[in-house]
Amino acid sequence: MRLPAAVIVIVGLWAIAPCSAREVSLHKHSPDELKSTCEKAGGSFSQDASGFYCSSNCHGDKGTDCTIGCKTDQNCIAQVPGARRPTTLLNAVLAPSREH
């Protein structure tokens, strides 16, 4: 039996979807706010002339970092794995709860 190509493509996209990252726009935040949040999450904070950033290993596996980047006077952008939609700095850099 042969599967149509569309079915194979859909199954393939579904299989890799959890590995892909999502970018979510957050509100404007100060460097101090992001640094404090980053420390609470056990992440790594950095700052340069263009903005300030936080990265955390939010799932405990290689390649599963959650990051937040903030450019001066612009909204921060969170990049998280999978289909998550964080709404705060802290839930963008922490591992999601496993409540089911």
Q: What is the pTM of this model?
A: 0.72
Name the β-bridge partners of 56. 66
Cβ 34 vs Cβ 68: under 8 Å: yes
Does residue 9 sit within a domain?
no
Answer yes or no: is 30 within a domain: yes
Using pLDDT thresholds of 50, 70 and 90, give the confidence band for residue 63.
Answer: low
Look at residues 55, 65, 57, 63 and name the one whose alpha carbon lies nearest to residue 35: 55
Residues 63, 54 contacting (CB under 8 angstroms):
no
* pLDDT, greater one: 24 or 12: 24
Q: What are phi and psi of 20, to 5 degrees?
A: -80, 160
CA-based nearest residue to 64, from 73, 55, 72: 55
| pLDDT of 99 over the 60 cut | no
Q: How confident is the model at residue 75 (pLDDT cuts 50, 70, 90)?
A: very high
Residue 89 lies in a domain: yes
Could you give the number of structural domains in the chain?
1
Residue 67 in domain? yes
Range of the domain at 26: 21-93
